[in-house]
Amino acid sequence: MRVLVTGGAGFIGSHTCDRLVELGHEVVVLDVLAAPVHRGGRPNHLTPGVEFYEGDVRNRDLMRNLLRRVDAVYHFAAYQDYLPDFAKFTDVNVTSTAMIYEIVVAEKLDLQRIVVASSQAAMGEGLYRCAVHGEQTPDMRPESALRAARWDIGCAVCGEPIEVLPTPERVANPQNAYGMSKHGEEVVAVNLGRRYGIPTVALRYSIVQGPRQSVYNAYSGACRIFNLHYLLGGAPTLYEDGQNIRDYVNIHDVVDANVLVLADDRAAGRVFNVGGGAGYTTQEFAEVVRRQYGSDRPGRISGEYRFGDTRHILSDVDTLKQLGWSPKRTPADSVAEYAAWLRDVRGLDEILAEADAKMRSLGVVRKAGS
């Protein structure tokens, strides 16, 4: 099969290209090589033998020419940031997806599969349960609560503590621009796919971890930040009280899911969560990283928080398990792989300071009580 991978020079895209080539597919990569992720241009990790094009997924003529020549598409290209670029999120993440379907329909292309990369961010706070009032999907925590260091979410009816549940695909309550754009991409892709008979799958990735996760991307989260701090002899700051629950999935488990839905016709027309199958507090995850480096310095609780963060989120992966997939690697596996990969990266101290300064200058990192 001849497969187009947009964003194929990136983290998830490049690992997927590796596997596709191993399986005997011909791979065409389109990537804009945008900063901050690709500061040095075309990365060394790009799979040998792929056909590479540098360009933007919003370029209609380029996309038309590439789509005419392939049998399937993985659409990984996306815009991620904390900047309030609301129109850009929609333009890159939603409009480019709609344009793919416009071209396929207009050209009457017979694609065997389109797989779009969505995100756990589409679910927002996800699913909770009150012992008295049942299941709930809370809205974003108010800024007043965060400033007062009231981190936990209470029942919308009685105000009592509520339990976080694994969130199934039916829940969509995005609360930031990236999550909104990813949910929009799901809706466009899956529904246009159904309407026009284009076999389409949307994959909602949890927090994906492993080698090649960009050290330059401030959006990329705990694995990068915690590893950089411990590698440089420090200790990370844990936001809120360190008890936020997160769902981490290894890049190789993600690639397993990617290649499964390419081949399995049962996946067409559906949205699937791709997660690690277990929740970890950020403090627990920091301990995993600390042990990797043999440090005696635990993560530091500072009372800071990131504006727009969810309190907890955990994906229910039972739907994808029904197709035979399951997560096989642990966060410790991901951290070990990432730590080994970081040894070849230079200038890490400057990278860490730059990312932290950016988050603070944008007002993303804030202090309770201020």
Could you list the mean pLDDT of each consecutive 10-residue stretch along the chain, which spans 370 residues? 98 98 98 78 88 97 98 96 85 97 98 98 97 96 95 96 97 94 98 98 98 79 91 94 97 99 98 98 98 97 91 98 98 97 81 74 81
Q: Do 265 and 199 meet the contact criterion of CB atoms below 8 Å apart?
A: yes
Q: 2-367 sits in which CATH class?
A: alpha beta
Specify the pLDDT at position 340.
Answer: 96
* pLDDT value, residue 42: 84
Instruction: Using CB atoms within 10 Å of the CB of residue 63, give its burial: 0 to 12 exposed, 13 to 18 middle, 19+ buried.
Output: buried
Q: What share of the chain is helix, strand, coil (3-state, %, to 5)?
A: 40, 20, 40
CA-based nearest residue to 179, from 101, 317, 276, 80: 80
How many Cβ atoms sit within 10 Å of the Cβ of residue 2? Answer: 12
Q: What Cα–Cα distance (Å) separates residue 133 from each residue in 73, 136, 166, 173, 254?
A: 44, 8, 18, 19, 35
pTM confidence score: 0.95
* The pLDDT of residue 158: 97
CB 215 within 8 A of CB 128: no
In 153-269, at which residue ranges do the beta strands (DSSP E only) sit?
163-164, 200-205, 207-209, 237-238, 245-250
Q: How far apart are CA 222 and CA 209, in angstroms?
A: 9
Return the DSSP state at 95.
I
Q: What is the distance between the alpha carbons of residues 310 and 247, in angstroms, rounded to a whole number?
A: 12
Q: What is the DSSP letter of 50?
A: -
Domain residue limits, the chain? 2-367
